[in-house]
Amino acid sequence: MWKILSNGVAVVLVLGMTGLAGCGRQAQEQAALPVITAQLTYAPQVPPPVTRSGPARVIVNLEAVEQTAELAPGVTYNFWTYNGHVPGPFIRVRVGDVVEVHLKNTSRDKTHTVDFHAVSGPGGGAPVLMANPGGEAVASFKMLQPGLYIYHCAANPVPAHIASGLYGLLLVEPEGGMEKADREFYVMQSEFYTEGPLGQPGFQPYSSAKASAETPEYVVFNGRVGSLTGEGALKAKVGDRVRIFFGNIGPNKISSFHVIGGIFERVYREGGFGTPEQGIQTTLVPAGGAVIVEFQPKVPGRYTLVDHSIFRIERGAIGYLDVSGPEAPEIYRKMK
């Protein structure tokens, strides 16, 4: 029988059987992975580093929830959230992991999904995670490339879903993990387009017109004005290696991320794990992008996180890192 087959058909068979065997092997490998549920944290907290030496199947449970909450003192807004938080949870995995996402949609009238920038494939997974009102979608994705990635809703109309709060960060650690840091923080910048002007009290509806004109009323860190000030200020000690996972969802503006009083000793530009840049004062973070910055405060006191498009501090883009510890007059001293 084989003799009458052309070479072409033989190639088909060989390649096909190889493909089938490869498929089976991949399925077996994935089935053999340990299954763990992701430890999710909310800004500014970051999950602990991945200590596994090999990949796992990581279950990530997300729930799209709409809720009205405070955007600024006395100002409320209808947020669309993952798991009731803006930004959504920080997801931490390692390269090679298979992330199994369970998205429940509690909305009664809106479809939601997730576009993971960490996913290789159409829509970053959004088409297969589309969950109708009251529905649930489940899909899995292999993490192929280490980096710090944005995720966000991509249901129509996408800009409005992003502008309403559906976004977060996913870190894919490289094999072998990252160097130890003493403090890790999750900070995400975003804009809000309210019908009322900045500071107008009361409930403020979302404004499609302002979003389209790219004229935000609020530019904030971690979902609201004042999230990183007062009781929310970040804390560290002199000498700590501080690592900030910083994301900028936009949806329109580029961030010029800067820490007043700090020099970034390492910048993993745009979230990639190439050789980090050193001695950076301000790093540009595109809308829909992220960066990892590290520095070691050597002098106690208050360090201020800003978008150095500086008028945005008046719209909410300001936070504090309070550093405690011994004075260092050899570095920083008032003379008169």
Shortest Å, Cβ 210 to another protein: 10
Strand order in the sheet with 318-324: 234-237, 318-324, 301-307, 255-260, 282-285
Spatial distance between the Cα atoms of 278 and 294, rounded to a whole number of angstroms? 9
Residue 210 amino acid letter = K
Spatial distance between the Cα atoms of 116 and 84, rounded to a whole number of angstroms? 18
Shortest Å, Cβ 115 to another protein: 12
Binding mask 60-79 for another protein (x = CB under 8 A): --------x---------x-
Spatial distance between the Cα atoms of 87 and 103, rounded to a whole number of angstroms? 16
Shortest Å, Cβ 58 to another protein: 17
Instruction: Give the residue from 168, 215, 171 showing the smallest Cα distance to 188.
Output: 168
Please tell me whether residue 317 binds another protein under the rule CB under 8 A: no
Please tell me whether residue 144 binds another protein under the rule CB under 8 A: no
Which among 95-103, 109-117, 282-290, 306-314 is the span making contact with another protein, rule CB under 8 A? 109-117
Shortest Å, Cβ 199 to another protein: 18
Task: Pick the binder of another protein from 155, 170, 280, 318 (CB under 8 A).
Answer: 155
Judged by beta carbon, residue 160 or residue 280, the one nearer another protein is 160
Please tell me whether residue 134 binds another protein under the rule CB under 8 A: no
Judged by beta carbon, residue 79 or residue 245, the one nearer another protein is 79
Spatial distance between the Cα atoms of 28 and 126, rounded to a whole number of angstroms? 26
Task: Pick the binder of another protein from 39, 45, 120, 156 (CB under 8 A).
Answer: 156
Shortest Å, Cβ 87 to another protein: 20
Judged by beta carbon, residue 22 or residue 74, the one nearer another protein is 22
Q: Residue 35 forms beta bridges with which residues? A: 57
Spatial distance between the Cα atoms of 287 and 332, rounded to a whole number of angstroms? 35
Residue 92 amino acid letter = R
Instruction: Give the residue from 162, 36, 146, 18 showing the smallest Cα distance to 87.
Output: 162
Judged by beta carbon, residue 68 or residue 278, the one nearer another protein is 68
DSSP assignment of 74-91: TEEEEEEEETTBSS--BE
Binding mask 157-196 for another protein (x = CB under 8 A): xxxxx---------------------------------x-
Q: Tell me the C-alpha to C-alpha distance, in Å, between residue 314 and each of 216, 256, 311.
A: 12, 15, 6
Binding mask 18-37 for another protein (x = CB under 8 A): xxxxxx--xx----------
Shortest Å, Cβ 160 to another protein: 5
Which among 54-62, 91-99, 118-126, 177-185 is the span making contact with another protein, rule CB under 8 A? 118-126
Tell me which residue has tokens 């589309």.
130
Task: Pick the binder of another protein from 106, 208, 282, 304 (CB under 8 A).
Answer: 208
Which bin fits 328, alpha (ψ -120 to 50), beta or left (φ > 0)? beta
Which among 38-46, 88-96, 126-134, 262-270 is the span making contact with another protein, rule CB under 8 A? 126-134
Please tell me whether residue 109 binds another protein under the rule CB under 8 A: yes
3-state secondary structure of 198: coil
Helix residue spans in the chain (DSSP H): 7-31, 158-163, 208-213
Residues that bind another protein (CB under 8 A): 1, 4-6, 8-9, 11-13, 15-23, 26-27, 68, 78, 107-111, 121-123, 127-128, 130, 132, 139-140, 155-161, 195, 203, 205-209, 212
